[in-house]
Amino acid sequence: MSDAIRPQPGILDIALYEGGKAKLAGRDEVLKLSSNENPLGPGPAAQAALKRLVLGNAGADLHRYPSTDHAELRETIARVHGLDAARVICGVGSDEVIAFLCQAYAGPGDEVLFSQYGFLMYRISAQAAGATPVAAPERDRHTDVDALLAAATERTRLVFVANPNNPTGTMIDPSEIERLADGLPDHALLVLDGAYAEYVEGFDGGLALVEGRSNVVMTRTLSKIHGLGGLRVGWGYGPKAVIDVLNRVRGPFNLSSLQQAIATAALEDHDHVARSRRENAAARDWLTGALRAAGVGVDDSLGNFILARFDTPARAAQVDAALQAGGILVRRMDGYALPEALRITIGTMEDCRRLAGLVVQTLEAD
């Protein structure tokens, strides 16, 4: 290719996002605990909706373009969460909403701020928009509001905070988030990433803060507690003026008719969400205790995963190898500069027992 054909500045600096591994050479069956997926899978309502779509008319409507305004899906989101449907935007996963925010609000010379172990997509989307990613330190793997406030400058346009955070699993008090929203400069939009909000009993994901002010947006996803990571549907909620801006950069047909129909059905499956939350909490608390008893460092996690910290990176690699030999995939954390840690998605209680058994065996063998 000609040297004259070059991407925009910054694009070649983007480190490719690596998803959690899904396969192990020479094995048909693996236990995949590397991508924070719901071990129960999608709920019965989502599955029934898909069957209706496939069997109903076998795709005879697929020549029709999908709804461009996602009205039914947005109205369902609004009803389920008690929101104003006009202030909801839907995307191809919340990843796409994050990308819209960066594209619309940040560009060359601007800064996009997040915390040290923040979700990698914040950095990638900022770089894709030509903006400068800035990471503020955390305090003992917890979001540090003072550090974020200290890192905000006249160039900061967006501040991303996931609460609970991934990959740490930790959560900070909503009053701390409010202090952050109050303290940021007027030109910075605070984005609360609520990908794991439903796992926290009674938590609104930051909704009250969005309702109370003009500088806060919340993102949510169907990929986690709804068990629909493969469907790719997420949404955002914010001030009308912000949502209107994001809709200008959103492709008119970003969500297919199948995505919209299945997501709409899944949102009303309250039993599946409640069961997923309950079983996750029981298995997560058991696994946390079992690993701590074996001397592994584990912070209290509020999500559907834990971050297990070993003495050294070599020890983490050794445990990872033993798990793989036993057919279990977890996430190495080198990409997050946590090489001594493994992020382990909470599977079923049986999955957790199997995993803990292998970890304990590996640590005791030495």
Ligand X SMILES: *Cc1c(COP(=O)(O)O)cnc(C)c1O
Minimum CB distance to ligand X smaller for 39 or for 93: 93
Minimum CB distance to ligand X smaller for 35 or for 362: 35
Residues in region 61-100 near ligand X by CB under 6 A: 93-95
Residues in region 111-170 near ligand X by CB under 6 A: 119, 162, 166
- From the list 221-229, 252-260, 312-320, 336-344, the region that binds ligand X by CB under 6 A is 221-229
Bond into 66 cis (ω within 30): no
Count the alpha carbons within 13 Å of 17 in the hemisphere toward its beta carbon: 13
Supply the minimum distance, in Å, between the C-beta of residue 312 and ligand X.
Answer: 26
Identify the residue whose tokens are 């490719």.
16
Minimum CB distance to ligand X smaller for 235 or for 290: 235
Residue closest to ligand X, measured at CB: 93
Q: Which two tokens stand for residue 362?
A: 């590996």
Secondary structure, 3-state, 156-194: EEEEEEECCCCCCCCCCCHHHHHHHHHHCCCCCEEEEEC
Minimum CB distance to ligand X smaller for 43 or for 363: 43
Determine contact, residues 69/63, Cβ cutoff 8 Å.
no
Supply the minimum distance, in Å, between the C-beta of residue 259 and ligand X.
Answer: 12
Determine contact, residues 317/308, Cβ cutoff 8 Å.
no
Interacting residue with ligand X among 111, 193, 269, 351 (CB under 6 A): 193
Minimum CB distance to ligand X smaller for 195 or for 291: 195
- 301 secondary structure, DSSP code: P
Q: Residue type for 146, please?
A: D
d(CA 326, CA 10): 41
Supply the minimum distance, in Å, between the C-beta of residue 321 and ligand X.
Answer: 25
Supply the minimum distance, in Å, between the C-beta of residue 276 and ligand X.
Answer: 15
Minimum CB distance to ligand X smaller for 94 or for 156: 94
Interacting residue with ligand X among 229, 236, 238, 347 (CB under 6 A): 229
Supply the minimum distance, in Å, between the C-beta of residue 155 and ligand X.
Answer: 24
Interacting residue with ligand X among 234, 236, 238, 347 (CB under 6 A): 234
d(CA 89, CA 73): 10
Determine contact, residues 335/18, Cβ cutoff 8 Å.
yes
Interacting residue with ligand X among 33, 49, 171, 195 (CB under 6 A): 195
Supply the minimum distance, in Å, between the C-beta of residue 326 and ligand X.
Answer: 25
Strands in 341-345's sheet, in edge-to-edge order, are 297-298, 305-309, 341-345, 331-332
Supply the minimum distance, in Å, between the C-beta of residue 128 and ligand X.
Answer: 15
Minimum CB distance to ligand X smaller for 143 or for 156: 143
Residues in region 32-61 near ligand X by CB under 6 A: 36
Per-residue x/- track, 250-279, ligand X (CB under 6 A): ------------------------------
Q: Is 266 exposed, middle or buried (0-12, 13-18, 19+ CB in 10 A)?
A: buried
The neighbouring-strand residues paired with 306 are 344
Minimum CB distance to ligand X smaller for 134 or for 358: 134
Count the alpha carbons within 13 Å of 163 in the hemisphere toward its beta carbon: 26
What kind and span of H or E run contains 114?
strand 111-115
Minimum CB distance to ligand X smaller for 101 or for 290: 101
* Residue among 219, 200, 145 at smallest CA distance from 177: 145
d(CA 31, CA 358): 13
Supply the minimum distance, in Å, between the C-beta of residue 58 and ligand X.
Answer: 28
Chain residues binding ligand X by CB under 6 A are 36, 93-95, 119, 162, 166, 193, 195, 221, 223-224, 229, 234
